[in-house]
Amino acid sequence: MEFNTLSRLIVISNRVQPPGAASSGAQGGLSVALAAALREYTGFWFGWSGESTEQFTGHINFERDDGVTTATIDLEDQDIEEYYNGYANRTLWPLFHDRVDLAEYERGFAGGYQRVNERFAETLRPLVEPDDAIWVQDYHLFPLGSELRKLGCENRIGLFLHIPWPARRVLSSLPMAEELVSTLFAYDVIGFHTDEWRDSFTEYVTQQLGAVLNDEGDISLGGRTIRAITCPIGIDTKEFVAMSQSETAKLSYRQMRESANNREMIVGVDRLDYSKGLEERFLGYERFLVEHPEERKEVFLLQIAPPSRETVETYQNIRTALEGLSGRINGAYADIDWVPIRYVNQGYRRDVLAGIYRAAKIGLVTPLRDGMNLVAKEYVAAQDPEDPGVLILSRFAGAAIQLKDAVLINPYSAEEMADAIASALRMDKPERIRRWRLLMDSVEKEDVVWWRQTFVDALMTDDRSDDSVDIA
Ligand code: G6P
């Protein structure tokens, strides 16, 4: 069954940031990608405003900005604590990033998560028209599809997971995991960034829940059939390339080069999150300084790490740890005219960042586990084609599957990271250009437009046999 190409697309995510927020530097890669996807469709982007209210009323605030309509609701403090800070970021986030040691299991979190998903469904339901396609984003909203079905929604509903899907053994440590994962069968299509995570999902639902995988790759459970697809997200490459040539980017490039004072710059840009491998990055860089004393004053690391989820204790801990580590390394190696690490805790506008990326000889992206990592792609897109820098990328980022021509490393090995930095600094121009061209081909081909089209096509095209399309 082909869906009417004029049907509206409703995108739902926990956080909704109007496109205008880009100018403040507040936007993450995901919200930039969603805004770009929505500009192509009629419809709207629904989610939490980021604000709190004393009493949840279901009032929806509609706004239109740069071709995108947003519809946002405020949540109560208790909702934010249990659903966002609690179940989403203290339970699911660590668990899905293989940090069972950091995952917290509290019934109150699970209850708040369910309540907010019901609130999302009840508020959204009256806005949904029969032909709309609904596209839910990420781990905050797993039960939303099932809540919408309970309210009689028979629309096509898809889910995209932007974080890894953990191994079955890891997920089994989550209380009520089976119940939570079963609700995902309310969706029609579920998207993952890599085959590994899609396969891990399939393994869990077939082995643990008894779902049946058919020859076409569709999965059935309890009268519902879903399709799990791999569809890695990209950046708005054309826009980012243009941004890297803007006046603002040129100015930030020049300022960065001047302040580098003929030294080579290594750059890292990450939300301050324990999944990003920032401690390992600092230690790998320190190892490089130890093993290459002759390079010490020839290079520096600029680490930009805006704080994230600040009320969650594990995020406070990583911040404290990084302050200690950067202080210790700077104390041990700095000289009166050189500091090895410039550690900055604020965010920058994307056009300013584009100039900074271009000024860096090395982009250092070392997550221990990461759904995709769009910084790696932005670093590639910002380079000067005639004299590009080198991307050093963790094997454990989803992006490593596409960006095979980066210098791929194991972030747990300080030695490997130190060697990679040394060889990237020595890499000759023809080799840098050769690698960059291959990386850029991927960033251009599988961009955000391709991602959105691939997912929405899968969502809107129902080629399953009729008896399997049983909307419960
Ligand atoms: C990750 C998640 C996104 C989230 C973003 C920023 O990329 O996959 O869903 O929006 O981090 O995190 P925050 O908690 O600030 O929304």
| Cβ of residue 28 lying under 6 Å from some atom of ligand 1 | yes
DSSP letter (8 states) at residue 276: G
The SS3 call for residue 392 is strand
| Cβ of residue 273 lying under 6 Å from some atom of ligand 1 | no
Atom of ligand 1 nearest to the CA of 371: 8
Residue 465: per-residue pLDDT: 44
Chain centroid, CA 439 distance in Å: 19
ipTM score assigned to the predicted complex: 0.99
| Cβ of residue 95 lying under 6 Å from some atom of ligand 1 | no
> What is the 428 CA–ligand 1 centroid distance (Å)?
37
Domain ranges of the chain: 9-234+451-460, 237-445
List active site positions. Answer: 162, 370
Atom of ligand 1 nearest to the CA of 89: 14
Helix (H) or strand (E) holding 286: helix 278-291
The angle subtended at Cα 234 by Cα 131 and Cα 33, nearest 5°, is 55
Residue 436 amino acid letter: W
Closest Cα to atom 9, ligand 1: which residue? 138
Atom of ligand 1 nearest to the CA of 140: 9
DSSP letter (8 states) at residue 164: P
Pocket test for ligand 1, best of 271, 276, 311 (most atoms within 8 A of CB): 271
- Topology alike, domains 9-234+451-460 and 237-445: yes
Q: What is the mean pLDDT of each run of 10 residues along the chain (472 residues)?
A: 64 84 57 77 92 96 89 97 98 98 98 98 97 96 98 98 98 98 98 98 98 94 97 94 96 98 97 97 98 97 97 97 98 97 96 97 98 97 98 98 98 98 98 98 96 94 52 33
* Rounded CA Rg of the chain: 23
What would the CATH number be for the domain defined by 237-445? 3.40.50.2000
Residue 162 amino acid letter: H
Cα 35 to Cα 229: distance, rounded to the nearest angstrom: 22
Tokens of 214: 């058919």
> What is the 319 CA–ligand 1 centroid distance (Å)?
17
Contact indicator for 227, 233 with CB cutoff of 8 Å: no
| Cβ of residue 141 lying under 6 Å from some atom of ligand 1 | no
Cα 389 to Cα 384: distance, rounded to the nearest angstrom: 8
Cα 265 to Cα 370: distance, rounded to the nearest angstrom: 24
Contact indicator for 285, 417 with CB cutoff of 8 Å: yes
Quote the percentage of the chain above a pLDDT of 90.
Answer: 88
Tokens of 322: 């990084």
> What is the 214 CA–ligand 1 centroid distance (Å)?
33
| Cβ of residue 162 lying under 6 Å from some atom of ligand 1 | yes
Helix (H) or strand (E) holding 300: strand 299-304
User: Tens digit of pLDDT for each residue in 6-39?
Assistant: 579 999 999 987 666 554 554 566 777 788 778 7
| Cβ of residue 446 lying under 6 Å from some atom of ligand 1 | no
pTM value is: 0.95
| Cβ of residue 90 lying under 6 Å from some atom of ligand 1 | no
| Cβ of residue 286 lying under 6 Å from some atom of ligand 1 | no
* DSSP E strand stretches across 1-120: 9-15, 43-53, 61-65, 68-76
> What is the 330 CA–ligand 1 centroid distance (Å)?
30
* DSSP E strand stretches across 58-171: 61-65, 68-76, 133-137, 156-160
Strands 43-53 and 362-365: unpaired
| Cβ of residue 15 lying under 6 Å from some atom of ligand 1 | yes
> What is the 50 CA–ligand 1 centroid distance (Å)?
12
Chain centroid, CA 84 distance in Å: 16
Contact indicator for 385, 412 with CB cutoff of 8 Å: no
Residue 363 amino acid letter: G
- Which residues fall within 8 angstroms of residue 66, CB to CB, at 6 or more apart? 18, 19, 20, 35, 39
Chain centroid, CA 236 distance in Å: 14
> What is the 277 CA–ligand 1 centroid distance (Å)?
16
Strands 362-365 and 341-344: unpaired
User: Tens digit of pLDDT for each residue in 365-423?
Assistant: 999 999 999 999 999 999 999 999 999 999 999 999 999 999 999 999 999 999 999 99
Neighbouring CB atoms inside 10 A of 54's CB total: 8
Pocket test for ligand 1, best of 84, 162, 193, 365 (most atoms within 8 A of CB): 162
| Cβ of residue 102 lying under 6 Å from some atom of ligand 1 | no
Cα 333 to Cα 137: distance, rounded to the nearest angstrom: 44
Class of domain 9-234+451-460: alpha beta
Atom of ligand 1 nearest to the CA of 138: 9
Q: Is 402 exposed, middle or buried (0-12, 13-18, 19+ CB in 10 A)?
A: buried
